[in-house]
């Protein structure tokens, strides 16, 4: 199992302002499976992503990634885990503005404390080619379209060969056609690389590309469904 | 340094602007350093040239060359004290020098020294003070500035003492006034005797020749200075401290050091402000790097490395331009002197100040929450 979330509660704020962002949430995602998490704005989708990615400590419950429980980890251990085991795909603007497409991927090697070798460059180019962005390897983010930036983000997330992919609203800034292309690409990549993936989205039309989906409302899971196409 | 280099290349305009400001500060710092060294040289080059370890003044809370007066028994007492290698009287009086045609030349400091003694300067041109009694060795500055040549006669204003130029030594000043050397007896005659010398047929009383301004000393390292000072009513300073007894020296050095200090503080603040704004502008990207697994240590190394690159390049350019300009100042005779150690010191200080300034952003970086990469603030 790539990701296991069990009975997770996340409370934010203090006193009267305290809210329960996640209320006893439990689910699992296996290797090579794409789980879509749907819900209205403020339902707790992003909080779920933050907890799964080690960006927030849950108030209670357990999160296990690749057999490693997150609860016992301190901030620096969580940082290392994010680098080694988790790939993030953010909304389209989240590329480093000073880095070319190829450098966005090689940054992950630098963050691991190494200088990129030929094998790293070859791996990065192979990933860029797999998302049809090999010809844009030397372009800066502001020279790319929204869809192209999202493809670079997906390739970057796979650079460290993670066991878990966390995808945040990948289609929010794209039109329907490009949005479907990106989600299809995500599905293809997570099957190809056997990565467990959680995709947060508010767009119901993207469900077809997911293996499973769950609806979250007010921090609680309301419904779990298996996609008709899978 | 991966991100640092890419940022430097990407945000060329911003970093170029910042580099220009730092280069300008480095330029001014180097010019100030040259000016400070030049002023020091211009003020005390005469003292620096003296082959002494210490100078003994008449006892005073604030000893200086003009007010000090020592007697023969004092320098002879010093000469015979244990640990004293050599002791000689040095006379110091300021005059205005004129030509025999009564045209003003310049203010000069007349130093009276024992001919053949250790205070006598090396001459670049001419001969030593062992020659005629009224011989004078002048600073090269006087020769260059006013065209005074060997054999010319200089008249000291007020006392009307005539001195014949027999030698020219290197550029030596004290209190920004050129030094001229004459035998101690001539100095005593000019300083304590009647204007124009003794009346015809008369000789000056011997007591006139028992006084000087200070005692120049060559001391062994373990000399008991305090005991000798008490015995002979003197206050002795090492050569470095004796510079401060030159009028205006301490104030000039303090003023220049204060300006340099302000510039270092201003640089640290400007660079600190720049990196703070730069970090705030990059908050989203720093949060993103942290969310991707970048550690604080990585980001701090990167930021400090960026600051170091910026400082070294900008300070290098600013210093180079200042040295280039400074060389022309030196050649034009302005009080300016480029000293390698001082330039390296002021440049190094500026780089350290810049790094300290950039450390302001360190706290900001460590406090950025990676969750902002998700576009959330809570």
Q: Report percent pLDDT > 90 for chain A.
A: 47
Q: Is the pLDDT of residue A86 over 50?
A: yes
User: Residue A44: which residues within 8 A CB-CB, separation 6 or more?
Assistant: A10, A21, A22, A23, A25, A216, A218, A219, A220
Q: Are B99 and B147 in contact (CB under 8 A)?
A: no
List of long-range contacts for A7-11, beta carbons under 8 Å, 24+ apart: A7/A60, A7/A61, A7/A62, A8/A48, A8/A51, A8/A58, A8/A60, A8/A61, A8/A62, A8/A63, A9/A58, A9/A59, A9/A60, A9/A61, A10/A44, A10/A47, A10/A51, A10/A56, A10/A58, A10/A59, A10/A219, A11/A59
Contact A91 B294 (CB under 8 A): no
List of long-range contacts for B243-247, beta carbons under 8 Å, 24+ apart: B243/B40, B243/B43, B243/B44, B243/B47, B243/B48, B245/B55, B245/B57, B245/B63, B245/B64, B245/B65, B246/B43, B246/B44, B246/B47, B246/B64, B246/B65, B246/B174, B246/B175, B247/B64, B247/B65, B247/B66, B247/B175
| Lookup: tokens for A212 | 């499973």
Q: Are strands B153-156 and B162-169 parallel, antiparallel or unpaired?
A: antiparallel
- Bridge partners, residue B177, by sequence: B174
User: Residue B239: which residues within 8 A CB-CB, separation 6 or more?
Assistant: B47, B50, B52, B53, B54, B55
Alpha helices in B147-295 (DSSP H): 184-192, 225-232, 239-243, 249-281, 283-292
Radius of gyration of chain B measured on its C-alpha atoms:
30
Q: Is residue A147 part of a domain?
A: no
Least confident of A163-167, A206-210, A215-219, B2-6: A206-210
| Lookup: tokens for B242 | 């004796």
The confidence score (pLDDT) of residue B377 equals: 45
* Each residue's pLDDT tens digit, B296-326: 999 999 988 988 999 999 999 999 999 999 9
> Distances in Å between the alpha carbon of B144 and those of A78, A199, B138, B141, B172?
75, 85, 11, 5, 12
Q: Are A230 and A187 in contact (CB under 8 A)?
A: no
Compute the half-sphere exposure of residue B304: CA atoms within 13 Å on the CB side of its CA. Answer: 14
Q: Are B355 and B304 in contact (CB under 8 A)?
A: yes
Residues A24, A27, A29, CA angle at the centre, nearest 5°? Answer: 155
The confidence score (pLDDT) of residue B376 equals: 57
Of B235, B184, B253, whose CA–CA distance to B44 is shortest? B253
**Which of A84, A110, A142 has the highest number of chain B CBs within 10 A, making it the mutation to test binding with B?**
A110
- Kindly list the residues from chain A whose CB atom is less than 8 angstroms away from the CB atom of residue B292: 82-83, 88, 107-108, 111, 156
- Kindly list the residues from chain A whose CB atom is less than 8 angstroms away from the CB atom of residue B284: 94
Q: Is residue A193 part of a domain?
A: yes
Where in the sequence is the domain holding A186, given as residue range(s)?
Answer: 3-95+165-226
Of the pLDDT bands very low, low, confident and very high (cuts 50, 70, 90), residue A93 is low
State the Cα–Cα distance between residues B375 and B378, nearest whole angstrom.
Answer: 9
| Lookup: tokens for A25 | 């949430």
Q: Is residue A119 part of a domain?
A: no
Phi/psi at B240 (nearest 5 deg)?
A: -60, -45
Of the pLDDT bands very low, low, confident and very high (cuts 50, 70, 90), residue A1 is low
Contact B3 A56 (CB under 8 A): no
Mapped onto helix, strand or coil, the DSSP state of residue A203 is coil
Pick A99's closest partner by Cβ from B6, B290, B376.
B6
> Distances in Å between the alpha carbon of B164 and those of A180, B115, B148?
103, 15, 11
State the Cα–Cα distance between residues B170 and B138, nearest whole angstrom.
Answer: 8
Q: What is the mean pLDDT of residues A198-225?
A: 85
The confidence score (pLDDT) of residue B374 equals: 80
- Bridge partners, residue B125, by sequence: B168
State the Cα–Cα distance between residues B53 and B59, nearest whole angstrom.
Answer: 18
Task: Report the chain B residue with the minimal C-alpha distance to residue A114.
Answer: B2
Contact A98 B10 (CB under 8 A): yes
Task: Report the chain B residue with the minimal C-alpha distance to residue A165.
Answer: B292
- Kindly list the residues from chain A whose CB atom is less than 8 angstroms away from the CB atom of residue B288: 90, 94, 96
Q: What share of chain A is helix, strand, coil (3-state, %, to 5)?
A: 40, 25, 35
| Lookup: tokens for B372 | 């902002």
Q: Is residue A105 part of a domain?
A: no
Q: Is residue A190 part of a domain?
A: yes
Residue corresponding to tokens 């290698």 = B85
Please count the structural domains in chain A: 1
> Distances in Å between the alpha carbon of B24 and those of B85, B204, B266, B292?
50, 62, 12, 39
The stretches in chain B having pLDDT less than 50 are: 377-378
Strand order in the sheet with A3-12: A19-29, A3-12, A60-65, A68-69
Q: Is the pLDDT of residue A229 over 60?
A: no
**Residue A119, exposed/middle/buried by CB under 10 A (0-12, 13-18, 19+)?**
exposed
Q: Is residue A140 part of a domain?
A: no
Contact A79 B293 (CB under 8 A): yes
Residue corresponding to tokens 């480095």 = B26
**Which of B5, B293, B375 has the highest number of chain A CBs within 10 A, making it the mutation to test binding with A?**
B293
Q: Are strands B135-139 and B70-71 parallel, antiparallel or unpaired?
A: unpaired
Give domain limits for chain B: 2-44+250-374, 60-232
Q: What is the mean pLDDT of residues A36-51?
A: 89
Q: What count of CB pairs under 8 Å joins A to B?
A: 85
Domain harbouring A12, CATH code = 3.40.50.300
> Distances in Å between the alpha carbon of B123 and those of B103, B132, B171?
26, 16, 11
User: Residue B116: which residues within 8 A CB-CB, separation 6 or more?
Assistant: B128, B129, B130
**Which of A37, A79, A154 has the highest number of chain B CBs within 10 A, making it the mutation to test binding with B?**
A79
State the Cα–Cα distance between residues B47 and B239, nearest whole angstrom.
Answer: 8
**Residue A108, exposed/middle/buried by CB under 10 A (0-12, 13-18, 19+)?**
buried
Of B93, B123, B110, whose CA–CA distance to B163 is shortest? B110
Q: Is residue A56 part of a domain?
A: yes
- Give the Cβ contact number of residue A51 at 10 Å: 24
Q: What share of chain B is helix, strand, coil (3-state, %, to 5)?
A: 55, 20, 25
Q: Are A82 and A49 in contact (CB under 8 A)?
A: no
């Amino acid at each position: 199992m790539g990701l296991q979330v069990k009975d997770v509660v996340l409370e934010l704020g203090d006193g009267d302002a305290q809210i329960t962002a996640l209320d006893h949430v439990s689910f699992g995602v296996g290797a090579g499976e794409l789980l879509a998490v749907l819900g209205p704005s403020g339902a707790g989708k992003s909080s779920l992503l933050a907890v799964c990615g080690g960006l927030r400590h849950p108030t209670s419950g357990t999160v296990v990634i690749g057999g490693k429980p997150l609860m016992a980890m301190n901030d620096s251990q969580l940082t290392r885990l994010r680098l080694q085991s988790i790939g993030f795909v953010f909304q389209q603007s989240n590329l480093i503005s000073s880095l070319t497409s190829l450098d966005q991927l090689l940054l992950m090697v630098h963050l691991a404390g190494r200088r990129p070798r030929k094998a790293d460059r070859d791996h990065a180019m192979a990933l860029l080619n797999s998302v049809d962005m090999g010809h844009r390897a030397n372009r800066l983010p502001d020279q790319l379209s929204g869809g192209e930036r999202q493809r670079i983000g997906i390739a970057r997330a796979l650079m460290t060969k993670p066991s878990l992919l966390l995808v945040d609203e990948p289609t929010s800034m794209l039109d329907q056609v490009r949005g479907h292309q990106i989600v299809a690409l995500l599905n293809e990549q997570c099957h190809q690389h056997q990565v467990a993936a959680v995709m947060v989205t508010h767009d119901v039309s993207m469900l077809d590309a997911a293996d499973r989906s769950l609806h979250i409302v007010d921090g609680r899971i309301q419904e779990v469904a298996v996609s008709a196409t899978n | 340094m991966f991100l640092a280099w890419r940022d430097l290349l990407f945000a060329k305009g911003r970093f170029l602007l910042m580099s220009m400001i730092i280069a300008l500060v480095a330029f001014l710092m180097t010019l100030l350093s040259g000016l400070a060294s030049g002023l020091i040289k211009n003020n005390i080059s005469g003292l620096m040239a003296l082959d002494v370890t210490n100078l003994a003044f008449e006892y005073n809370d604030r000893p200086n060359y003009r007010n000090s007066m020592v007697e023969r028994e004092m320098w002879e007492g010093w000469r015979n004290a244990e640990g004293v290698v050599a002791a000689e009287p040095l006379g110091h009086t300021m005059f205005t020098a004129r030509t025999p045609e009564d045209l003003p030349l310049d203010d000069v400091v007349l130093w009276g020294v024992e001919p053949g003694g250790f205070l006598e300067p090396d001459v670049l041109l001419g001969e030593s003070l062992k020659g005629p009694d009224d011989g004078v060795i002048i600073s090269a500055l006087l020769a260059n500035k006013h065209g005074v040549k060997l054999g010319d006669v200089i008249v000291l204003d007020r006392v009307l003492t005539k001195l014949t130029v027999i030698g020219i030594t290197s550029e030596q000043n004290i209190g920004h006034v050129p030094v001229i050397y004459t035998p101690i007896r001539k100095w005593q005659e000019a300083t304590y005797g009647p204007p124009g010398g003794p009346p015809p047929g008369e000789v000056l009383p011997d007591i006139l020749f028992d006084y000087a301004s200070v005692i120049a000393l060559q001391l062994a390292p373990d000399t008991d200075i305090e005991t000798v000072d008490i015995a002979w009513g003197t206050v002795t300073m090492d050569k470095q401290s004796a510079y401060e007894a030159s009028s205006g020296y301490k104030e000039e050095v303090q003023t220049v050091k204060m300006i340099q200090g302000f510039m270092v503080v201003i640089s640290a603040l400007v660079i600190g402000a720049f990196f703070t704004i730069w970090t705030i502008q990059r908050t989203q990207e720093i949060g993103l790097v942290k969310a991707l697994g970048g550690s604080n240590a990585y980001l701090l190394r990167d930021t400090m490395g960026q600051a170091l690159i910026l400082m070294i390049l900008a300070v290098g350019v600013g210093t180079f331009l200042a040295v280039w300009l400074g060389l022309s100042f030196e050649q034009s005779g302005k009080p300016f002197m480029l000293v390698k150690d001082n330039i390296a010191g002021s440049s190094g200080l500026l780089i350290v100040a810049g790094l300290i300034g950039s450390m302001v952003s360190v706290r900001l970086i460590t406090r950025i929450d990676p969750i902002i990469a998700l576009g959330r603030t809570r």
